[in-house]
Structure 1
Amino acid sequence: MVRCLYHSTIQEFINTSSETLLGMFINNYHGNALTITNESWSNEIEIMRETLLPWKFENGQIIFEYDIPRLGKRIDVVLLLRGIIFCIEFKVGEKNLLQSNIEQVMDYALDLKNFHLFSQDKIIVPILVPTKYSSCSSAFCYSVYDDSIYNPLVTGSKGLQKLISDIFIHSGATISNSSLGVDWIISPYSPTPTIIEAAKRLYENHSVEDITRHEADKVSTDRTISYILDVIKNSKEQKQKSICFVTGVPGAGKTLVGLDVAVKQSYQNGGKLIEDEGAVYLSGNGPLVAVLTEALAIDNYRKCKERGEKKNMSDSRREVGKFIQIIHRYRDNMLAKIKNPVENNTLEIDPDKAIKLTNAGYGEVEHVAIFDEAQRSWTHKRLADYLKRGGTYGNKLKIQNFPLSEAAFLIWSLDQREDWATIICLVGGGQEINTGEAGISEWINALNDKFTHWRIYISDKLTEKEYAEGKVNELLAKNDKVTFSSDLHLGVSLRSFRAEKLSAFVHSLLSFNPDATEWYEKIKERYPIVLTRDMDKARTWLRKMTRGSQKAGVLVSKASARFKPLAVHVLEQGDENAIHWFLEDKNDIRSSNYLEDAATEIQVQGLELDYTCVLWDADVRCENGKWKYYNFNGRTAWREEAGNTESSIERRKYMLNAYRVLLTRARIGMVICVPEGNHNKTAGGFPEDMTRLPEFYDGTYEYFKTLGLDEI
């Protein structure tokens, strides 16, 4: 069977015995069906056979256990009848109505509408059937989004036939309609998973092609992965050291590519772990690593429990942690092997601190290291200062006069292998957001100066201004081991299935390019971006827009300061807080959906939500067609960041890049809230709040209005 356990015409279904149908379900099920599963299928078969008797001779289709690839779940029953798609979710034996079950069936309907080609212009009716539920929905209405999806309906098993009949009357579908035929089940399906959903699927040995929207003429994830795996293969065969630089627009799937390469390289030959050829996925983004690791561990634990395997959460976390790691801990493990103090400005392995292996030498066991957000690697100064203090990530050794940048040290670490090694650098343009983040030029300088035997494979887009200030060609002009390839660039956003051009709009907005309005016009129909000065209106908009288990959240820059008057609390630092913010459901006050805790660019870079509110504070202001930058002194006033020193210029770049990150976190739509400030005066005629004067915000708001953003 394709994408399901069973499908047929309604007449064929009714004419087939229940025993035969159950046997077909069990035969087509991949795995061992538990007794409780068989009982549920038996109940669903009997209910649907009786329910569909009035339409036995009509041209309709019934599908059981239809696979939804993006969610990794199956719809219990899809009924295609009179041109309407019914998504039916059974809860056999249940008599109570649960919000989570309503969200589940709504998710199915949304997924079909957004990603299933033959469902996009059809009426979709989500129905929840707790079989012992004593009531039945009687009010019918489409959702407020004008997308032909009914608001979820609920009925017990005895009311299902009447409910379907009432829907036909309400929708005007009173005669047979053959517009939904057998081809529906093989419709093209173009899902765009969140990074969390995609990581779960990759960990189950799916490919990026399986789980993402795949249009060969546009989306190049598979081509990029194939190119990287070929570089790895050639490096192994020729005993070489190599490095790949992969670029991509925000949301283009760089992290997915990295995770997929890690899985494919580590699990070969039928999915078996290859210990001596493995890869490790490394990121300096603590919240990203924490959220992905916890999500994968929870999913792994749940699946093992369903299979009857004995495993606890700590086991699942350890298993996931083998191939997704925080880069600082990987780095510190190598630091523990060096001679200390450093002499002659040169790093050397201390043989008393490390064991030399036959192939790995003094390097780590992995041949392949994937560094996500490589542009955020630390400068020499920041790393040297960090090590001079003794570090905070488990490395308590103080190392004086450390000679390398983080990029150079990471290349040095892989260079300790005596056979071969490959580094994959995933590079986001214009996304350096912390002081001391070196950008990509530090990697290239290290290769030019210290590791001239390494072969370099580089995206042809790395020459553009947002990467290494456009100096890549100049930096590599004398390096004879460079290969440029368009296969190493990901040019289409996968994060936002509605707005592939969002990153171009954000770039134009932040650069004051005159084409920003044109970009907005191209995306606004499928990707709403609205503007407000009222945080309560922003929250109302987010709550109205999110359906099912969709995620919404408030975002602020880390330099913002005056958010408390708007009843916004900045999410406290710490990976545990990020885990709860991203992973808890909307019933948990720690969830992003509560719209109380706002995350910063540090906590959301590399991750995403369905809808966001970007709360724009007075740290970055539009004044006379230019951005001006301000830091709050923590007490009474903002101070302009206006110096011409290198450090001041860098800080301004980081502050603007913070908003670049915040404006590209939403998959479906966002609201930008630019507060009005405080207009009130004291009895003496002075401003009530000198830190929130209206003029701090008005210029930014007026600029956004000129772009044509819809106001709410």
Structure 2
Amino acid sequence: MREEPLPQIKTLKSSNFDEVVHEVKSIAGIAKNNHTHHLVLVSGVPGAGKTFVGLTLAHDIEKAVYLSGNGPLVDVLQDSLQNKTFVQALYGYKTDYIRYGKVPDEHVIIFDEAQRAWDSKKMNGVKSEPDIIIEIAKHKSWSVVVGLIGEGQEIHIGEEGGIGLWNAAIRNHDIHVHAKHHQTIFPNAKHYYENKNLHLNTSLRTHNALKYFEWVEEFIAGHFERCKEIQQQLEKERFMLKFVKSLDEAKALVQNLYEGTDKTYGIVISSGLKNPKGVKVVPFSDRYTTPKHHVAYFNYPDSPYYCRKLDYAATEFQVQGLELDMSIVYWGSDLQWKNGEWKASNHKQGAEDPYQMKLNAYRVLLTRGRDGVIICY
């Protein structure tokens, strides 16, 4: 964190990054001095720097921890940082408490992708993940739970409850809530502080990324004429967005573009796509595999799974929260435009809205490229 870059995480900093970090640290100081408990929600569009905010807070604040339910992200970050202390897997953290009654030391708990927290059904019990985190926090003399909030990226079953789970979790717990949202979202807060400084805005340097995010939203919505207009603007900004009909063409394009550089590029693919042609999917790693295959995809050039070799594709679960300089999106038959609408197949069993989760999966795949995206269809 002090000396090395973190090239695998979203590095597009917002213009108010320092202000957001300062605001959360100030709230932590108030909580410590007044022995109070707080829920702070930090929001921002994909690429605004939410993960980096969380890591910075976990690194800078004493007795703070960054938690993520995104196992591949945790694995890659721990490998990059060579540290397993201030970045931890949410699963182990909550399991130690539920199963063994172990109350962790941290007073500041940073929960990445807070809008994707599991509900009680997914937890196989009466408590949701927010219930458990708030319960842990209340064991302390003071606490701050920081929820990092993205939008439209719920891809696991049990993640569809959204922010409402956090409002339910703080009921009768005397929790002060700070967020940019309107206070009607949190009727259970002891006190609610609407705070615009907790939303990561974006600088002019990220204008092309903001425009591309708009393109993704319009594309997912099926507004293709608007997409063409935005695409023309992106070309002027030198953000690459191309459609190609063969994987070989996509590979040749990105290899020629980045020849002689150390830029990262790779293929990403929907987990719902069965037997894709011309590429293998990064396989699941058991707990004893070192390095894990999805970590090797990002961090180990000598591995057969390494992204630049273009032999293996990573799924939305393996790349969420991470990025490449250029991504090749292998568009599958599990989401096709037919008769004026998207037709989805190979749905996740047990999802409340499987169609929306399929759209979310492709939204994640489409937003992994830092310099641009090549869509192979």
Name the TM-score, length of structure 2 as normaliser: 0.90
Cα deviation per residue 1:299-326 (whole Å; 9 max; x = unaligned)? xxxxxxxxxxxxxxxxxxxxx1111100
Larger radius of gyration: 1
Cα deviation per residue 1:242-290 (whole Å; 9 max; x = unaligned)? 0111111111110100011111112xxxxxxxxxxx1011111111111
Q: 2:90 pairs with 320, 324, 327, which one? A: 327
Confirm or deny: 8 A CA contact 1:243 1:454 kept in the other structure: yes
* Alpha-carbon distance in structure 2 between the residues aligned to 1:482 and 1:503: 30
- Cα distance change, pair 296–193 in 1 and its aligned pair in 2 (3 A): closer
Cα deviation per residue 1:561-602 (whole Å; 9 max; x = unaligned)? 141xx21101112370011110122x5422111111100010
**Within the alignment, does 1:499 sit opposite 2:209 as a pair?**
yes
Q: Which amino acid is the alignment partner of residue 409 of structure 1?
A: I
Residue 443 of structure 1 aligns with which residue? Answer: 166
Confirm or deny: 8 A CA contact 2:8 2:298 kept in the other structure: no
Cα deviation per residue 1:18-65 (whole Å; 9 max; x = unaligned)? xxxxxxxxxxxxxxxxxxxxxxxxxxxxxxxxxxxxxxxxxxxxxxxx
Shift of 1:376: 2.0
Residue 382 of structure 1 aligns with which residue? Answer: 122
Q: Which amino acid is the alignment partner of residue 274 of structure 2?
A: A
Residue 571 of structure 1 aligns with which residue? Answer: 282
* Alpha-carbon distance in structure 1 between the residues aligned to 2:30 and 2:139: 19
Q: Which amino acid is the alignment partner of residue 365 of structure 2?
A: L
* Alpha-carbon distance in structure 2 between the residues aligned to 1:625 and 1:495: 36
* Alpha-carbon distance in structure 1 between the residues aligned to 2:356 and 2:44: 19
Residue 131 of structure 2 aligns with which residue? Answer: 408
In the TM superposition, 1:444-593 aligns within 5 A as 444-447=167-170, 449-451=171-173, 453-460=174-181, 474-477=184-187, 479=189, 481-492=191-202, 499-513=209-223, 515-525=226-236, 526-547=238-259, 548-563=261-276, 566-574=277-285, 576-585=292-301, 588-593=303-308
* Alpha-carbon distance in structure 2 between the residues aligned to 1:529 and 1:259: 30
Q: 1:424 pairs with 138, 141, 146, which one? A: 146
Confirm or deny: 8 A CA contact 2:215 2:230 kept in the other structure: yes
Q: 2:34 pairs with 211, 220, 238, which one? A: 238
Where do 4+ consecutive residues of structure 1 move more than 6 Å? 493-497
Confirm or deny: 8 A CA contact 1:253 1:495 kept in the other structure: no
* Alpha-carbon distance in structure 1 between the residues aligned to 2:314 and 2:205: 18
* Alpha-carbon distance in structure 1 between the residues aligned to 2:116 and 2:352: 17
* Alpha-carbon distance in structure 2 between the residues aligned to 1:380 and 1:493: 38
- Cα distance change, pair 370–648 in 1 and its aligned pair in 2 (3 A): closer
Confirm or deny: 8 A CA contact 1:283 1:371 kept in the other structure: yes
For these two proteins, the number of residue pairs brought into alignment is 368
For the residue of structure 1 that corresponds to 2:250, the secondary structure is helix
Name the TM-score, length of structure 1 as normaliser: 0.49
Structure with higher RCO (Cα < 8 A, 6+ apart): 2
Q: Which amino acid is the alignment partner of residue 148 of structure 2?
A: L
Return 5+ residue gaps in structure 1 as ranges: 1-68, 73-191, 199-211, 267-277, 298-319, 339-353, 355-362, 385-401, 464-472, 633-640, 675-712
- Cα distance change, pair 232–662 in 1 and its aligned pair in 2 (3 A): same
Confirm or deny: 8 A CA contact 2:281 2:314 kept in the other structure: yes
For the residue of structure 2 that corresponds to 1:554, the secondary structure is strand
Confirm or deny: 8 A CA contact 2:10 2:322 kept in the other structure: no
Cα deviation per residue 1:423-466 (whole Å; 9 max; x = unaligned)? 0001110110011113222112222x343x00000123xx6xxx
Q: Which amino acid is the alignment partner of residue 455 of structure 1?
A: H
In the TM superposition, 1:40-51 aligns within 5 A as none
Q: Which amino acid is the alignment partner of residue 73 of structure 2?
A: L
Shift of 1:195: 4.1
* Alpha-carbon distance in structure 2 between the residues aligned to 1:511 and 1:489: 25
Q: Which amino acid is the alignment partner of residue 405 of structure 1?
A: S
Confirm or deny: 8 A CA contact 1:70 1:197 kept in the other structure: no
Cα root mean square deviation, aligned:
2.6
Shift of 1:234: 0.6
- Cα distance change, pair 494–416 in 1 and its aligned pair in 2 (3 A): farther
For the residue of structure 2 that corresponds to 1:381, the secondary structure is coil
Q: 1:368 pairs with 108, 111, 118, which one? A: 108
- Cα distance change, pair 334–480 in 1 and its aligned pair in 2 (3 A): closer
Cα deviation per residue 1:50-91 (whole Å; 9 max; x = unaligned)? xxxxxxxxxxxxxxxxxxx9995xxxxxxxxxxxxxxxxxxx
**Within the alignment, does 1:659 sit opposite 2:362 as a pair?**
yes
Shift of 1:479: 4.4
Confirm or deny: 8 A CA contact 1:195 1:256 kept in the other structure: no
For the residue of structure 2 that corresponds to 1:529, the secondary structure is strand
**Within the alignment, does 1:606 sit opposite 2:321 as a pair?**
yes
For the residue of structure 1 that corresponds to 2:15, the secondary structure is coil
- Cα distance change, pair 498–70 in 1 and its aligned pair in 2 (3 A): farther
Confirm or deny: 8 A CA contact 2:177 2:190 kept in the other structure: no
* Alpha-carbon distance in structure 1 between the residues aligned to 2:57 and 2:270: 32
Q: 2:24 pairs with 209, 216, 228, which one? A: 228
Residue 288 of structure 2 aligns with which residue? Answer: none
* Alpha-carbon distance in structure 2 between the residues aligned to 1:477 and 1:594: 51
Residue 596 of structure 1 aligns with which residue? Answer: 311
- Cα distance change, pair 71–329 in 1 and its aligned pair in 2 (3 A): closer
* Alpha-carbon distance in structure 1 between the residues aligned to 2:106 and 2:3: 31
* Alpha-carbon distance in structure 2 between the residues aligned to 1:573 and 1:506: 28
Return 5+ residue gaps in structure 2 as ranges: 286-290
Q: 2:73 pairs with 280, 288, 304, which one? A: 288
- Cα distance change, pair 670–503 in 1 and its aligned pair in 2 (3 A): same
Q: Which amino acid is the alignment partner of residue 522 of structure 1?
A: Q
* Alpha-carbon distance in structure 1 between the residues aligned to 2:97 and 2:18: 32
* Alpha-carbon distance in structure 2 between the residues aligned to 1:194 and 1:330: 26
In the TM superposition, 1:213-292 aligns within 5 A as 219-266=15-62, 278-292=63-77
* Alpha-carbon distance in structure 1 between the residues aligned to 2:341 and 2:114: 29
